[in-house]
Structure 1
Amino acid sequence: MAIHLGLRGKSVATLLLACLLALIPALLIGWVAVDEVRRHFATAYAEQYTLLQMHRISAPVARELALSRRLANSVVTREWLRQPDDPERQARFFAEAEGFRQQFGSNAYFLIDHATGDYYFADRHDAEPSPDYRLSPDGARNAWYFDAMASTSTYAIAIRADPVLERSMLWVQVKVRDEGALLGLAGGALDLDEFLRHFLRARAPGVTPMIVDPRGMIRVHPDRSNVRSGTDVTPFDTDSDQHILSLFDDAEQRDDFRRAMQQAARRPGSIRTLHAEIDGEARLLSVGYIPELQWLLVTSLDMLTAPIVQGRWFWPLVGALILILATLVAAFGYASNRLVLKPLQRLTQSARAIADGDYASRLPNERRDEIGTLSRAFSHMAQQVEDHTRNLETQVRERTHELETAHAAMAAAHKQLGDSIQYASIIQRAILPDEQLNEGLAPCHAVLWKPRDTVGGDFYLFRATPEGYLIGIVDCAGHGVPGALMTMLSRAIIDNAINHHGAADPAALLNEIDRQSRELLPEAQLPSSIATNMDIGLAWVDPAGRRLTYAGAKLDLYGSDGRQLERLKGGKRALGHRRPLQYSNHHVPLRPGWRYYLCSDGFLDQAGGEHGFGFGNSRFEELVRSQATAPLDAQIVAFERALNDYRGYRPQRDDITLLIFSSALDASEHVHLHQPGPGREST
């Protein structure tokens, strides 16, 4: 259902459209600005979050490291490790170490005598321990200790699962040295599970914190499958699932993150940020270095999930915009109604009065704006219309009389032209050899003749002699009246050629007809737009000798008994072509039971089917083979039906002629001359 808007509706709609068009770039600019602000706040948020987490991590670890250093550097510790068999020194160490134990986060400490490999561990349940076991360099279980002692670092922080304690611990390992000699390893520990709960408890929505060692191995991650445990220092593998670079799919982003790690390690306390894709999702990464742990803190921020910019302001802003737009539209509607629409309503009323013949209605023209100018122009127009109407009525009566006279003359001319064309059709039909065919070949022929117009350029011929008969069809260039005139001229030329050469040599007749047509219609004297060529197919039938002779110009003769099909091709050029051709005869035996077919190109070239292609030779040959054994009048009906079905809604494009004849009378055929439809003749 169509909706018709008045001027008020169109004005309001135009204003709304203008506002919307203005809002589109404003919204785009606003969105870009908000996105930039959002990115700025996201970067600041990630940096501050990373700094806060670094402080929360480094504070307890730094405390454990300071206590472990004090324990390792204690004079009492060094004196005992110099003489581990001295009971007095051992007692002084355990007394002092108990004070350290109570200050460690896990209420536990450990000490390893490097000379003997004895491992001491004390917690709240074992205040004065004896060696728990002795470290051996041959076992892979104790490789962490020997690797730590072989390193150049004075301390190490490792995450290791303790099989004795049955829990994962964060160990602070400080070397005990005395005058450059390694005496052992001492330190405290933090419960890793409690440490992780403390670290991960502060996770904000959209934030994934990770702790990475300098080699890039992940030490702490919300997903424990990504965590690298132990203290082994084998060369790191970036393809490992526990390596931070394995999270990146893009090689360039891996290089950027590696540079960010190096820069953060060189400048402790600074934060490096970069944008990257992790698992196919955009993330903002911030990297900070914790010197106490010699680890890096990596924060992955999902800007779509993290509460960076609050949306509480969005709906009030939308409501304010809608209110402003509604106020603007209402004010515009009121002003347009008062200043424009009401004067136009009065103008409409005056126009309707003038349309009803009341020219006395006038508009107020005191306004000095465009509406006043329009009112004055309308009043002047009304006066002019009144004057012209009076003059026009007189002119209309005069013109009506002239038109009636011209119409009567045109109708008479049209009738005369129609009568002439109908008369031409009668004359053209007079040259068709229907009577001769009935007398000479009554039971053995059938014709389909359908001019495109009332008259056409196709005709068929028949000439009987005591020795046999000549039968054929002619397709003259053009259709309608020009084609009909060509048929009259062609028939005269053909009759003259038969009189001079006889009917038994079709090729000689074609050559003679070609020569005479060139003499009567010389190409040099005719415009290039006029075509005078002819397509002809002539067959001489000798019943006594059981022989058929055929010659054609662009027309072929088809013969079939329903099983076999024979095609005698005519010359490739039409009669009257600018390049002459000598035509020759085809001689074939006249076979009993065979039917012979001649058709003009109007049948083969008729457009139809799904794509509008011509009927074509292959489709025609298949139709000949399927109908060859049927009675001749039934064949004509079948051919016409097949052509009409193929043509469909498309118009007939040319004159159509189909001539069928047989070699002998079939006792089952009972044919007679009739006209079953417009333009069709069969016998």
Structure 2
Amino acid sequence: MLGLRGKSLVALLLSCALALIPAAFIAWQGVETVRNHFGLAYARNHTLLHREQIFAPVSRELALASRLANSVVTRRWLSNLDDAAARDLFFEEAEGYRADLRDHSYFVADSQGHYYYNDSKAPVSTTPRYTTAPDKASDNWYYATMRSPDAYNINVELSAQLKITNVWFNVAVQDGGRRLGVVGTGLNLSKFLNDFLATNESGVTPIIIDRNGAIQAHPDTRRIAYGSVSEKATEQQTAFGLLGSDAERASLRTAMAAAEAKPANPVDLWATVDGKRQLLVLAYIPDLRWHVLSIVDLRAAQVIDPGWATQALIAFVLLLAALLIVFGYAVERLVLKPLRRLQQSAQAISAGRYDTALPDETDDEIGELSRAFGAMAAKVQTHTAELEERVRERTKELQAANSSMAAAHKQIDDSIDYASLIQRAILPDRQMVQSLGAHHFVMWHPRDVVGGDFYVFLPDGDNCLLGVVDCAGHGVAGALMTMLARAAIDHAIKEVGARDPAAILARTDAAMRAMLRDTEMPRSLATNMDAGLVYVDRATGLAHFAGAKMSLYASDGVTTQEFPGGRRALGERRLGEYTNIVTELSGRTFYMITDGVLDQAGGEHGYGFGSRRFAELLQSIAGESLQDQAAAVEQALVNYRGDLPQRDDITILSFRFE
């Protein structure tokens, strides 16, 4: 809280502000006009300089690739692929080009789709690396180049076969009107971005886009439209996806057309990028069919020297400080000093010293305040004595109530801990270790002391039944539901046997409905549960799976396959249909999980772990031992969750039989 001195100074500050705000606003408008003028010139010069920096090395690579494509030796071999001498002569000549190319690499794809690639990392090879196929998305660049009327194209793409991401120069080899193949080279994308897009200038974002707006180079590689020569880029992989409105996107298309019409002149426009109004400047490179786009935040860029503004601000602060000192001295002498004496007396009375003398009475407002305060102090003294007696009585009552609450709280905690022991006792950990040993692992993490997840195991000779159940809710309510669910599953297995998981689910659903049919329960209390059961038949090498809103995952380390269960959980209003899915055991690791795994929030944005990320995790660890897999899954969930709390009960059951 501000005292009178502070409030007086604030009043002076407000008065100065009311006088200075209009002047500051006019000055600010002038500064903005100057900033925009010099900022536009700065952005244009930066874009033209960047265009030249890009054009020289890229055009050189394109020129070398075009010369190799138009070579008589190249056309002679690609016209007659069976001519071994022509092929050897081509590779001999191509090696001379490779020494001059920036990345010391080249490729050739003949009319039959055979793809050759040589670089400085290995001896020259005249054997194809692979053969392209029209039905492979990764080979679309080749067929798009062969179909295109253009002599060449440039695109950014990941080569799945070579495992490198480059800026590729694809030049068509032609003999008259007939296309014989594609020859070209590539620039490493990381080196390209570091060489041509790295900038130390704050507030400037350099981008390269093609004539369709697809991003070919960007400081954020996630926005690059890989393979744009053959596939349409997504909205987020185009320059239009950076802008905030349809009107701005239309303006950008108009600006691109103007830049292509007059490549020597840069074109500028204003647009909203990343929620801020920024200046965009375009410069077109006709030979490459690329636009160099500079996005400039004039407020972040150092367009004008802020030194003069600093000097003006210092002068303003000094003037304001002088005014505050003079005004503060006047307030201190006339108002604050008498009030301070009254304040000291009031503090003494508030501390219980009711015999403290008040300041000398005067005829002004402060004297009237002093007399009123004396009368109030007398009443406070009387009321204080009464209140102290009441407080002593109330304190005794509160102490007794706190003791009762502490005892009740301890009793509840002890009951929940005992319930946790009971719930852990129904889990078949010992039986699974004795029967399955290293062929399985289980991860069971209730969100609270007790939870709504549990797992089942039933040996059947050399075979066995495995299952995971996720009851609605967690904590005490979920734990109570697991008791009912476990009883229903045991009853179902006794009636239909262990070899038919779908029949067990259907009978469990019927048993749960029978248990709860005559029970009056609130509508808000969910009694449904997700479940997944697998019968492992080791004699036939098959697994029989049935699920109720729960899937079975299988991974061999190369791919991960999901076997989805029925769409309805057990105990829902509408009856579900459950069928057995039969799959082979050999060579794969199987996993059943509750939705607490996929729904666990974490990562940079707090999203759920998700099925895609889980499938990739399984694929990366499927070849390891199950004990190592358990540790890897545990660590992955901990790393992803970070500091966020566990959202739901988490259960994972995995098994593998050779």
TM-score (norm 1): 0.50
1:506 and 1:652 mapped to 2: Cα distance?
Answer: 31
1:575 and 1:611 mapped to 2: Cα distance?
Answer: 33
SS of the aligned residue for 1:635 comes to: helix
Match of 1:349 in 2: 344
Equivalent residues of 1:15, 1:329 under 8 A apart:
no
Match of 2:578 in 1: 583
Structure 2 CA distance for partners of 1:654 and 1:24, relative to 1, 3 Å: closer
Match of 2:548 in 1: 553
Query: Residues 437-452 of structure 1: matches in 2 within 5 Å?
Result: 437-452=432-447
Query: Residues 134-153 of structure 1: matches in 2 within 5 Å?
Result: none
Query: Residues 508-523 of structure 1: matches in 2 within 5 Å?
Result: 508-522=503-517
The alignment status of 1:470 with 2:478, answered yes or no, reads: no
Match of 1:94 in 2: none
The alignment status of 1:626 with 2:623, answered yes or no, reads: no
2:524 is matched with which residue: 525, 529, 541?
Answer: 529
The alignment status of 1:483 with 2:478, answered yes or no, reads: yes
Structure 2 CA distance for partners of 1:381 and 1:597, relative to 1, 3 Å: same
SS of the aligned residue for 1:358 comes to: coil
Structure 2 CA distance for partners of 1:392 and 1:637, relative to 1, 3 Å: same
2:4 is matched with which residue: 7, 14, 28?
Answer: 7
The alignment status of 1:420 with 2:415, answered yes or no, reads: yes
1:368 and 1:523 mapped to 2: Cα distance?
Answer: 84
- Per-residue Cα deviation, 1:8-61 (whole angstroms, up to 9, x for no partner): 3542552463366368789999xxxxxxxxxxxxxxxxxxxxxxxxxxxxxxxx
Equivalent residues of 2:446, 2:649 under 8 A apart:
yes
Structure 2 CA distance for partners of 1:534 and 1:349, relative to 1, 3 Å: same
Equivalent residues of 2:345, 2:359 under 8 A apart:
no
Letter in 2 for 1:8: R
Equivalent residues of 1:362, 1:379 under 8 A apart:
no
Equivalent residues of 1:16, 1:329 under 8 A apart:
no
SS of the aligned residue for 1:574 comes to: coil
Task: Report the Cα offset of residue 637 of structure 1.
Answer: 0.5
Query: Residues 450-461 of structure 1: matches in 2 within 5 Å?
Result: 450-461=445-456
2:22 and 2:554 mapped to 1: Cα distance?
Answer: 78
1:438 and 1:564 mapped to 2: Cα distance?
Answer: 28
Letter in 2 for 1:428: Q
Task: Report the Cα offset of residue 370 of structure 1.
Answer: 3.2
* Structure of larger gyration radius: 1
Match of 2:372 in 1: 377
Structure 2 CA distance for partners of 1:492 and 1:9, relative to 1, 3 Å: closer
- Per-residue Cα deviation, 1:421-441 (whole angstroms, up to 9, x for no partner): 000000101110112212322
Task: Report the Cα offset of residue 467 of structure 1.
Answer: 6.5
2:23 and 2:618 mapped to 1: Cα distance?
Answer: 76
SS of the aligned residue for 1:596 comes to: strand
2:341 and 2:423 mapped to 1: Cα distance?
Answer: 71
Gap runs ≥5 in structure 1: 30-321, 665-683
SS of the aligned residue for 1:453 comes to: coil
Task: Report the Cα offset of residue 525 of structure 1.
Answer: 3.9
Equivalent residues of 2:438, 2:627 under 8 A apart:
no
The alignment status of 1:597 with 2:591, answered yes or no, reads: yes
Structure 2 CA distance for partners of 1:346 and 1:574, relative to 1, 3 Å: same
Match of 1:643 in 2: 637
Task: Report the Cα offset of residue 385 of structure 1.
Answer: 2.3
SS of the aligned residue for 2:566 comes to: coil
2:322 and 2:349 mapped to 1: Cα distance?
Answer: 39
1:447 and 1:602 mapped to 2: Cα distance?
Answer: 15
Query: Residues 79-118 of structure 1: matches in 2 within 5 Å?
Result: none
Task: Report the Cα offset of residue 542 of structure 1.
Answer: 1.1
2:345 and 2:382 mapped to 1: Cα distance?
Answer: 17
Letter in 2 for 1:399: R
- Per-residue Cα deviation, 1:404-454 (whole angstroms, up to 9, x for no partner): 222221111111111000000001011101122123222311100000000
- Per-residue Cα deviation, 1:62-102 (whole angstroms, up to 9, x for no partner): xxxxxxxxxxxxxxxxxxxxxxxxxxxxxxxxxxxxxxxxx
1:596 and 1:327 mapped to 2: Cα distance?
Answer: 79
1:334 and 1:498 mapped to 2: Cα distance?
Answer: 91
- Per-residue Cα deviation, 1:345-390 (whole angstroms, up to 9, x for no partner): 1211102222343211242574454323322222122222222322
Task: Report the Cα offset of residue 396 of structure 1.
Answer: 2.8
Structure 2 CA distance for partners of 1:472 and 1:28, relative to 1, 3 Å: closer
Structure 2 CA distance for partners of 1:360 and 1:522, relative to 1, 3 Å: same
The alignment status of 1:617 with 2:614, answered yes or no, reads: no
Task: Report the Cα offset of residue 6 of structure 1.
Answer: 5.1
1:573 and 1:9 mapped to 2: Cα distance?
Answer: 68
Structure 2 CA distance for partners of 1:334 and 1:464, relative to 1, 3 Å: closer
Query: Residues 23-42 of structure 1: matches in 2 within 5 Å?
Result: none
Structure 2 CA distance for partners of 1:423 and 1:335, relative to 1, 3 Å: same
Query: Residues 182-221 of structure 1: matches in 2 within 5 Å?
Result: none
1:609 and 1:564 mapped to 2: Cα distance?
Answer: 24
1:21 is matched with which residue: 18, 23, 31?
Answer: 18
Letter in 1 for 2:595: D
Equivalent residues of 2:341, 2:359 under 8 A apart:
no
Structure 2 CA distance for partners of 1:340 and 1:531, relative to 1, 3 Å: same
1:566 is matched with which residue: 556, 561, 565?
Answer: 561
Task: Report the Cα offset of residue 551 of structure 1.
Answer: 0.1
Match of 1:138 in 2: none
Match of 1:313 in 2: none
SS of the aligned residue for 2:591 comes to: strand
Number of aligned residues: 367
- Per-residue Cα deviation, 1:571-600 (whole angstroms, up to 9, x for no partner): 122111222221111012232x42211111
2:485 and 2:441 mapped to 1: Cα distance?
Answer: 22
Equivalent residues of 1:365, 1:376 under 8 A apart:
no
SS of the aligned residue for 2:576 comes to: coil
Query: Residues 220-299 of structure 1: matches in 2 within 5 Å?
Result: none
Match of 1:360 in 2: 355
SS of the aligned residue for 1:545 comes to: coil
Task: Report the Cα offset of residue 329 of structure 1.
Answer: 9.1
Equivalent residues of 2:427, 2:454 under 8 A apart:
yes
Letter in 1 for 2:371: R
Structure 2 CA distance for partners of 1:577 and 1:386, relative to 1, 3 Å: same
Task: Report the Cα offset of residue 340 of structure 1.
Answer: 2.7
2:23 and 2:593 mapped to 1: Cα distance?
Answer: 75
Query: Residues 157-196 of structure 1: matches in 2 within 5 Å?
Result: none
Match of 2:390 in 1: 395
Structure 2 CA distance for partners of 1:12 and 1:607, relative to 1, 3 Å: closer
1:513 and 1:552 mapped to 2: Cα distance?
Answer: 12
SS of the aligned residue for 1:415 comes to: helix
Gap runs ≥5 in structure 2: 27-318
Q: Percent identity?
A: 57
Letter in 2 for 1:553: A
Structure 2 CA distance for partners of 1:327 and 1:398, relative to 1, 3 Å: closer
- Per-residue Cα deviation, 1:453-511 (whole angstroms, up to 9, x for no partner): 00000000001123621101000000000000000110001001111111111111111
Task: Report the Cα offset of residue 634 of structure 1.
Answer: 1.1
2:639 and 2:517 mapped to 1: Cα distance?
Answer: 42
- Per-residue Cα deviation, 1:607-639 (whole angstroms, up to 9, x for no partner): 111111111111111111221121111110100
Structure 2 CA distance for partners of 1:485 and 1:375, relative to 1, 3 Å: same
Coordinate RMSD, CA, aligned: 3.1
Letter in 2 for 1:18: S
1:489 and 1:352 mapped to 2: Cα distance?
Answer: 67
SS of the aligned residue for 1:412 comes to: helix
1:392 and 1:618 mapped to 2: Cα distance?
Answer: 66
1:410 is matched with which residue: 375, 386, 405?
Answer: 405
